[in-house]
Amino acid sequence: MNFAAFFIAVCCSLFTEGSQISEALPPVQNSQLESTPLPESAPVPVAPLIPMGPPPPLPVAPVANLASPAPVPLVDRLPGEVVDPMILTAAQRHNVRPALVKSIVAAESQFNPHAVSQKGAVGLMQLMPETAQQFGVDPMNPAQNIEGGTHYLRVLLDRYHRYRNCMARAVAAYNAGPGMVDKYRGVPPFRETRDYVVRVLNYFHLYQRDLG
């Protein structure tokens, strides 16, 4: 037997044995394959989500407490030792009785150098801006305000000096204006002006004891 015939004989023998083994095994049905459950993989544990709040604030270095500056007090009323020398100086310059000047100051502003009326009159003697400009004074400066008011009062006294009630007319003109006094030939019949004249003359009788 040559090599080729021997190789063919061996292959035939192996094929015959394989067929016998496959016939001896029971056949596997498709239903068995379909019903056999596949092993499930175990679930992977997942950690629960923890809600995150806003991040904590960053620490801030405390600011040193700074002492606030003390408020500058506003003087609502000038004391007599301050205002009287201003009155005496202006009264002597314009030849007006100091008690009359102080009476106008008391009636107009109660010695408040910051007083401003609804009509715009300013300062101790309540000068209107045009009056202050006429006499060349700063109405916010107490001494200049008294200077301008006293000068204006001197003008009014000169205007009515020939009348017996010269002072009353001048005071009324300081309040209502000389035009009204001229129109009514005396103190105008306005309640405000008449009350003003009475108030100033009462102050005058009070102050003339000390100032003259």
Question: CA–CA separation, 54 vs 12, rounded Å?
Answer: 82
What is the longest distance spanned by two Cα atoms in the chain? 180
Known active-site residue 40: no
In this structure, what DSSP letter does residue 36 have? S
Which residue of the set 17, 40, 81, 108 is catalytic? 108
Find all residues with CB under 8 Å of 83, minimum gap 6, and list them: 102, 105, 111, 124, 142, 146
Provide φ and ψ at 126, rounded to 5°.
50, 60
User: Among 169, 168, 90, which Cα is nearest to 123's?
Assistant: 90
CB 112 within 8 A of CB 106: no
| Residues catalogued as catalytic | 108
